[in-house]
């Protein structure tokens, strides 16, 4: 009896037809057995990977990829097809024979035999490199556009401030020898404008990579009460507190946290144009396990709840994004700055809102491990005169000159150094009651290196670190580096007099 070859011919014809079909598909296609070994591929796959089908059959991914870590053909697989090992969809990258790296999405599906039994997988490789490049370009363009909006807003604010300063100084020159009372008012107005400029700069530093918190243990109760009262003074908004009597202290930069709380309360006020009440709740909470972005431990949870118009649900995920705002006259930085500040304090901020009911911002701040000791607060406007010899190191001649005039007015004798090398030489020759060191000296030895040399000469050196850009950890942890105190530029005569009096005494 002659052998039946019909079945064999049919299988051969089916395989030939299958191969002919997948060879016409422009995307790389492959198919494997249940052990992960290749059974075949199409011409697009051969071209993409640089390997012929006859060389591929029987090999696994380990055999064809030399460096699996740098160039994995397959990454983690979602086993979303029950019982089918290796089935799923995932994104990875492939290095082609010409050395170029392509971003791809690999989609795999079960391959069954004539009886419906699982026999392997069939997969297709989709090259999405150009899509990802286009996405990055769109993001880059969007960021540049946003930066343009931000830069325009900053330029507008600074120009207004500079106009105030320039106008007041110009008038002060006119009235200088004529009307001393008028002169005093003009100079005070100029000083207020400079304080506004200082606050704007501080916000930008906080929002940028700078603005490292200068922390100390503080009472969050006092900070909340004073900030809320200040922001809502003179408005039609009421406020009430619900603060736990045993509320923990926190280790924070008081200026930054006050700024964050103030921005949220200001948002609450603006959300209630017809009046209402802001309710502030502060309580202790312990997280036994890591909860999202927070580590386990003790926290102070602050809830700020308004009765405003609420935030539409589609905006909730975007309100902390830079430049995002729904207000006509706003720069969209307020809540971004809040987010940045809380994050740098190892805390977390979230929001819940219902349209027509109100919005609640919830802030978590790590509880301090030490108790708060209330210090005697020197009146901020009080000038503390002193005596002694001070060494001022700064690369800017104008800074040295103005600081010298201020210190001489306060009763000190002043010497100057333009960099660390000169400061060390001068200190070697004679001791000083205090040293003010600029943190950054372009092209020279700055405060960080200088303090090491000064401590080698005099372990008890009374050094104060100064900078206008607080992105260095020294500014927030100055004592660790051997400094006695810190003063941030620009500073007033009252601030420098108080710092010097504290350090020297």
Among 463, 493, 485, 499, residue whose Cα is nearest residue 402:
493
Q: Give the DSSP letter string of 44-79.
A: HHHHHHT--HHHHTT--HHHH-S-TTTS-S------
pTM to 2 decimal places:
0.50
Q: What is the pLDDT of residue 230?
A: 85
- Cβ 407 vs Cβ 380: under 8 Å: no
Is a pLDDT exceeding 60 seen at residue 371?
yes
Q: What is the pLDDT of residue 99?
A: 78
What CA dihedral angle connects 207, 212, 217 and 220, to 10 degrees? Answer: 0
| Segments making up each domain of the chain, as ranges | 19-127, 142-207, 216-366, 389-504
The SS3 call for residue 471 is coil
Segment 283-297 mean pLDDT: 83
- Cβ 78 vs Cβ 85: under 8 Å: no
Q: In angstroms, rounded to a whole number, what is the distance separating the alpha carbons of residues 258 and 365? A: 13
Q: In angstroms, rounded to a whole number, what is the distance separating the alpha carbons of residues 406 and 496? A: 9
246 versus 36: the higher-pLDDT residue is 246
Residue 321 pLDDT level (bands cut at 50, 70, 90): low
The SS3 call for residue 348 is strand
Q: In angstroms, rounded to a whole number, what is the distance separating the alpha carbons of residues 43 and 56? A: 12
Segment 280-297 mean pLDDT: 85
Burial of 61 (0-12, 13-18, 19+ CB in 10 A): middle
pLDDT digits (tens, 9 = 90+) for 94-129: 888 887 888 889 888 888 877 778 888 889 999 998
What is the CATH topology of the domain spanning 389-504? Rossmann fold (3.40.50)
Which CATH architecture describes the domain 216-366?
Answer: 2-Layer Sandwich (3.30)
Q: In angstroms, rounded to a whole number, what is the distance separating the alpha carbons of residues 397 and 390? A: 16
Residue 9 pLDDT level (bands cut at 50, 70, 90): low
Segment 12-16 mean pLDDT: 73
pLDDT digits (tens, 9 = 90+) for 458-489: 999 999 998 876 556 787 788 889 999 988 87
Count of CB atoms situated within 10 Å of the CB of 468: 16
What is the CATH topology of the domain spanning 19-127? Beta-Lactamase (3.30.450)
Q: What is the pLDDT of residue 80?
A: 39
pLDDT digits (tens, 9 = 90+) for 38-84: 989 999 999 898 889 888 888 887 777 654 444 444 433 333 334 44
Q: In angstroms, rounded to a whole number, what is the distance separating the alpha carbons of residues 252 and 366? A: 9
**Percent above pLDDT 70 for the chain:** 76
Instruction: List Cβ<8 Å contacts ≥24 apart for 404-409.
Output: 406/493, 406/496, 407/496, 407/500, 409/493
Dihedral (CA of 154, 160, 162, 165) sign? negative
């Amino acid at each position: 009896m002659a052998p039946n070859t019909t079945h064999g011919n049919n299988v051969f014809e089916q395989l030939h037809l299958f191969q002919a079909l997948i060879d016409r598909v422009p995307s790389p296609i492959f198919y494997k057995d249940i052990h992960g070994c290749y059974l075949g591929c199409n011409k697009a796959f051969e071209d993409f990977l640089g390997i012929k089908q006859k060389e591929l059959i029987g090999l696994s991914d380990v055999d064809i990829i030399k460096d699996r870590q740098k160039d994995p053909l397959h990454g983690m697989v979602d086993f979303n097809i029950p019982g089918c090992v290796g089935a799923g969809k995932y994104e990875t990258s492939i290095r082609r024979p010409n050395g170029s790296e392509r971003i791809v999405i690999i989609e795999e599906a079960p391959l069954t035999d004539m009886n419906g039994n699982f026999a392997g997988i069939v997969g297709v490789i989709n090259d999405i490199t150009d899509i990802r490049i286009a996405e990055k370009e769109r993001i880059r363009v969007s960021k540049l556009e946003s930066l343009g909006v931000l830069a325009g807003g900053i330029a507008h604010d600074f120009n207004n401030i500079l106009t105030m300063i320039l106008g007041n100084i110009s008038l002060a020159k006119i009235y200088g020898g004529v009307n001393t009372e008028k002169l005093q008012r003009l100079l005070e107005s100029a000083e207020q404008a400079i304080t506004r400029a200082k606050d704007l700069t501080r916000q930008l530093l906080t929002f940028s990579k700078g603005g490292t918190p200068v922390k100390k243990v503080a009472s969050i109760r006092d900070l909340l009460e004073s900030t809320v009262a200040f922001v809502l003074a003179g408005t039609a908004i009421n406020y009430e507190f619900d603060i736990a009597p045993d509320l923990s202290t926190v280790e924070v930069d008081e200026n930054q946290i006050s700024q964050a709380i103030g921005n949220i309360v200001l948002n609450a006020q603006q959300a209630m144009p017809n009046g209402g009440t802001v309710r502030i709740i502060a309580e202790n909470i312990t997280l036994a396990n890591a909860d999202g972005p927070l580590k386990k431990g003790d926290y102070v949870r602050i809830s700020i709840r308004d009765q405003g118009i609420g935030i539409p649900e589609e905006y909730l995920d975007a309100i902390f994004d830079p430049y995002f705002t729904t207000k006509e006259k706003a720069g969209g930085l307020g809540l971004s700055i809040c987010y940045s500040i809380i994050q740098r304090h190892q805390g977390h901020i979230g929001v819940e809102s219902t349209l027509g009911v109100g919005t609640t911002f919830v802030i978590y701040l790590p509880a301090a491990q030490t108790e708060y000791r209330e210090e005697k607060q020197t009146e901020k406007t009080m000038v503390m005169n002193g005596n002694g010899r001070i060494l001022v190191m700064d690369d800017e001649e104008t800074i040295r000159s103005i600081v010298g005039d201020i210190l001489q007015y306060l009763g000190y004798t002043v010497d100057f150094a333009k960099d660390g090398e000169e400061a060390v030489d001068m200190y070697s020759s004679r001791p000083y009651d205090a040293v003010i060191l600029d943190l950054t000296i372009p092209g020279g030895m700055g405060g960080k290196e200088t303090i090491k040399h000064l401590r080698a000469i005099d372990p008890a050196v009374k050094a104060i670190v100064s900078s206008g850009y607080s992105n260095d950890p020294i500014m927030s942890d100055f004592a660790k580096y051997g400094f006695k105190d810190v003063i941030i530029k620009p500073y007033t005569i009252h601030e420098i007099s108080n710092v010097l009096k504290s350090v020297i005494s």
